[in-house]
Structure 1
Amino acid sequence: MAVDMKMPILIVDDYKTMLRIVRNLLTKLGFSDIDEATDGTSALEKLHARRYGLVISDWNMQPMTGYELLQKVRADDALKAMPFVMVTAESKVENVIAARQAGVNNYIIKPFSAEVLKAKLKTVLGDF
C-alpha cells in the first residue's frame, strides 16, 4: 500500500531550528501536511485535537520529554497505534533500549540527512 504523502505529521522539538530542519527534510521527501509542537505537553494536546499519521519527536525537552510523550501515546487507546519516531543527539544504548521497550517505531540520531530520514520512515511507513 502506498504511503499517503498528504497524511498529517506532527514534529515535536523545543529547538525551533530543528523543527525547521525536519520540516524542510519532510517537505523535500514529498510530505506536505506538517504541524509543529515545541514540547511534549503541547504535542499531546495537538494529538488529541487532530488525527496524525506520524509523530517525529525529540527526546530532550521540558516540561515533558519525548520519552514521556511516547509513553503517554502508547498508553492512550486512541493514539497507541500511531507510528512514532524518536530523534535525539544521544546515542546511549540504554536510551535506545528504553525507547524500544516503550514502543517507539524507530530511532534517529542527530545530525541526520534526508536519506537517513527517508530510510527510517520507510521502515515505519513502507515505501514512498
Structure 2
Amino acid sequence: MKVLVVDDMVSMRHVMLHMLRSLGHTDIDEAADGLQALGLLNKKSYDLLITDYHMPKIDGRQLLKSIRSNKDLVDLPVLMVSCEDEKSRIKAIIACDVTDFIVKPFSLQTLEIKIKKIEKQFPPKISII
C-alpha cells in the first residue's frame, strides 16, 4: 500500500511514519502541507492519504475538497487526523466526504483498525511493471 502522510509538524509526521512502518507499511511519502501534498498527488499514485486537519497554506479540509473535485483523485481514501474535538467541526469534515477520522492523540491500535477498515473498503491497486 502506497501511503502519503501530510502534517506540518515534523515530529507528528515522524511518529506517523514510525507507526506505519511498525504496521508493515514501507512505501510511504510525506508532505509538510496540503500544497506540497497536491504536488505529490499529481505526480504519483497513492492508495491512502493520511492528513492533518490544521495546516498552513492548504489545510486538510481544503486538500480533501481538492481531491474530491479531481476526477483522477476522487476515489482516493483519505484518513483525516486532528486534535479537533468540537463535534460541529468534525461533522463538517465528515460532510466533505472524508473516508475516516482520528482524533489526536491516538494509539497504534487505533491507526491499525482504521487502516484495516479502509483496506477492506478500498483494496490497494496492483501496479504491473
TM-score normalised to structure 1 length: 0.91
Q: Which residue of 1 aligns with 2:44?
A: 50
Q: Which residue of 2 aligns with 1:35?
A: 29
Unaligned runs of 5+ in 1: 1-6
1:1-128 aligned at under 5 Å gives the runs: 7-126=1-120
**Distance in 2, Cα, partners of 1:55 & 1:28:** 18
Compare relative contact order (CA 8 Å, sep 6+) and give the higher one, 1 or 2: 1
In angstroms, what is the RMSD of aligned CA positions? Answer: 1.1
**Distance in 1, Cα, partners of 2:88 & 2:66:** 20
Instruction: Give the letter aligned to residue 108 of structure 1.
Output: I
**Sequence identity percentage:** 36
**Distance in 2, Cα, partners of 1:54 & 1:94:** 25
TM-score normalised to structure 2 length: 0.91
1:73-104 Cα shifts (integer Å, max 9, x gaps) = 00000001000000001111112211111110
* Runs of at least 4 residues off by over 4 Å: none
Q: How far 1:126 sits from its partner (Å)?
A: 2.1
1:42-93 Cα shifts (integer Å, max 9, x gaps) = 0000000000000000000001101100000000000010000000011111
Aligned residues: 121
